[in-house]
Amino acid sequence: MKRCVIVGAADINDYSRVKNRLRGDDFAIYCDGGLKHLNALGLRPGLIVGDFDSYEKPDLGAETIVLPTEKDDTDSVYAVKEALKRGYEEFLLTGVVGARLDHTIGNVSILLYLDALGKKAEIVDDYSVMEIVSAKPAFVDDSFAYFSLLNISGLARRICIKNAKYPLTDGEIKSEYQYGISNEVLPGRTAVVTVGEGRLLLVKVFA
């Protein structure tokens, strides 16, 4: 399945985290200031989008969509919607978690948006890999130092965690009480997370 990589303008300090997860056939969309990561990532743009309020409009020979400065969708959300129109089913977002908490929360919510459409998606930053756990099980191998389960979308019930330091059976996590933080995979095992009702954000923290 071909994948779309969306690159935002938030800082990336450890490019190896992202580059280790790239594929040769990835289609890359750079969002405005995300172009500052172009050389370090070495990923050719298939599309560039943005209102170019934070970065000069480039002349790279790639397809470019200039957006209005006043709009409902952020550049990242527009990029996701454009990729969906082009038939992409899998997504990797990077450069979307940073100093602006409002932008970070908005970009994390893109994972919920894509999950609701049945698409596979993850966010990679300097510290972690994030994805949504809903209808299908999620897996965490022991190369990660920790993993956390956060409720960012209503109530989650019938949660099970196996092969972890803190297992859980038929659990419930509410958004106002986040007790699923900093779990650990048992050495040599792969943790399995399932959610019977609702959705959770899974954050897998690099060692």
Class of domain 3-126: alpha beta
By C-alpha distance, which of 168, 170, 172, 171 is closest to 192? 168
**Ramachandran class of 188: left when φ > 0, alpha when ψ lies in -120 to 50, beta otherwise:** left
The pLDDT tens digits of the residues spanning 147-193 come to 999 999 999 999 999 999 999 999 999 999 999 999 999 999 999 99
133-206 to CATH, choices 1.10.1740.110, 2.60.120.320, 1.10.287.980, 3.40.50.980: 2.60.120.320
> What sign does the CA torsion over 32, 80, 19, 22 have?
negative
The pLDDT tens digits of the residues spanning 84-138 come to 999 999 999 999 999 899 999 999 999 999 999 999 999 999 999 999 999 999 9
Contacts of 81 (CB under 8 A, 6+ apart): 73
Torsion of CA 141, 143, 145, 147, to 10 degrees: -20
By C-alpha distance, which of 155, 161, 199, 165 is closest to 185? 165
What's the pTM?
A: 0.93
Q: Let me know: does 127 contact 40? Beta carbons within 8 Å.
A: no
Domain residue ranges in the chain: 3-126, 133-206
